[in-house]
Structure 1
Amino acid sequence: MEAQQNTEAEAEEDFEPLTATYERLRHSEDPEELHEFAVRELPDRGDQAAFSRATALLEAVAGNVHTPVEDRIHLAETMPFPNVLVKLSQDQDASVRKAVAANTDCKNWLVGRLTKDSELEVSSTALRNPKTSWKMRLEGAQNEALDADTLDFLGQLGVELESGAPQVLSTMVRRAVALNPSTSEATLKRLAEDTIPAVAKAARSRLNADEQ
């Protein structure tokens, strides 16, 4: 009986215009209804109309604060669709934005935006995302408010991490880490042994200054 009711509800939804369903979900205060849409399996991509409709409705669900936070995090972690991720990147809950920041299906411009997030856990996560541009990584390496662990991560780019990275860009990031006052002594000691003289010199200069 329940399965029949669900089938009838889905059939009824199919007859509802997309804009009407979108607005209903966008303003819904029913967490159970929103949960059902958040976890519903997407139609096959071969059915372009149904697939496009489903992803459009997920945007409405993602942007609704009444959608359970665990469902918003789930969408942020698993969705590859920019329209859905943009909504979630603006979520009032930092844990949702952090999940978006870690999503490797994110567009680089969206990850870049999250590197500027007011919450350090979000911005730090975005800086670790391989989709983050080198420009954003360099700005992060120069940010004195950044935590030591993330600075250590950035200080390994082009060496221990992403060894195939562009040498000029990764060198600029590591040197910026070496010059950052918030970089830990352990990271500085490693950078002082960097094979690139400019990086090693910057790190040694910082270490010497700290000893005086």
Structure 2
Amino acid sequence: MTDENSNETTAAQDFEPLTETYERLRHSTDSTELSEFARRPLPDRADQASFSRATALLEAVAGNPHTPVEDRLFLAQTMPFPNVLIKLSVDAEPVVRQAVAANEDSKNWLLGRLTKDPIPEVRDTALVNKHTSWKMRLEGAQNPETDAKTLDYLGVLGTEIEPGASPILSSMVRRAVALNPNTSAQMREKLATDPSEEVRRAAGR
């Protein structure tokens, strides 16, 4: 193939309609091509058209199970784009969903969904993300399946962590931690000296 023909082929690929490229990547079984797309540097945000196209195609790559797990994990750890993270939040691999739960660019409603994940590690990771809603934190603190390490985190919200948080909401979470059977003895002792009387009372039960 001559250089001129090669350039024409490249140009044709560059101008492939977005929907066609999206569908091709969504159904592709070529793991090498999918991996290359997952790792490709994003265009400069100043080039809005190219940037939007690239993020849209990443959604297709993220949702394709033929994309190698390590590349889906990479996207879950590094991407700030809701459309990509939504795809990865329902990934078949728990380690990918857990990375979405840890990603601080994940929206609170998406984290809320992950606090209901069937895998404990995913749920617990979502509960300690700083963007998780107080409603989800409270439910996590009340859940007898939440592990002691996560309860240690929830038990100091509003005191040692996020000291400027709502006193009412944070004390509700700490009280629930005090009543949770999985809470460690050390955390229960700490809650026994909590600034909130309700939390102290719950810890003493």
Task: Name the structure 1 match of 2:136.
Answer: 136
Distance 1:81 1:184 in 2: 37
Distance 1:132 1:156 in 2: 15
Task: Name the structure 2 match of 1:39.
Answer: 39
Distance 2:25 2:189 in 1: 54
Extract structure 1 runs of 4+ deviating beyond 2 A. 4-13
Distance 2:200 2:63 in 1: 47
| Cα distance change on mapping 1:145 and 1:22 into 2, 3 Å | same
Counterpart residue identity of residue 143, structure 1: N
Counterpart residue identity of residue 50, structure 1: S
| Cα distance change on mapping 1:152 and 1:23 into 2, 3 Å | same
Task: Name the structure 2 match of 1:111.
Answer: 111
Task: Name the structure 1 match of 2:178.
Answer: 178
Instruction: Tell me if 1:147 matches 2:147.
Output: yes
Query: Structure 2 length as normaliser, TM-score?
Result: 0.94
Q: Post-superposition shift, 1:13?
A: 2.3
Instruction: Tell me if 1:98 matches 2:103.
Output: no
Which secondary structure state, in structure 2, belongs to the residue aligned with residue 80 of structure 1?
A: coil
Distance 2:6 2:185 in 1: 60
Query: Structure 1 length as normaliser, TM-score?
Result: 0.91
| Cα distance change on mapping 1:29 and 1:204 into 2, 3 Å | same
**Which sections of structure 2, spanning at least 5 residues, go unmatched?**
none
State the superposition RMSD in angstroms: 1.7
Q: Post-superposition shift, 1:12?
A: 3.4
Task: Name the structure 2 match of 1:87.
Answer: 87
Deviation readout 1:63-116 (Å, 9 max, x if unpaired) = 001111111011111111111000000000000000000011111100111011
| Cα distance change on mapping 1:8 and 1:36 into 2, 3 Å | farther
Identity, in percent, stands at 66
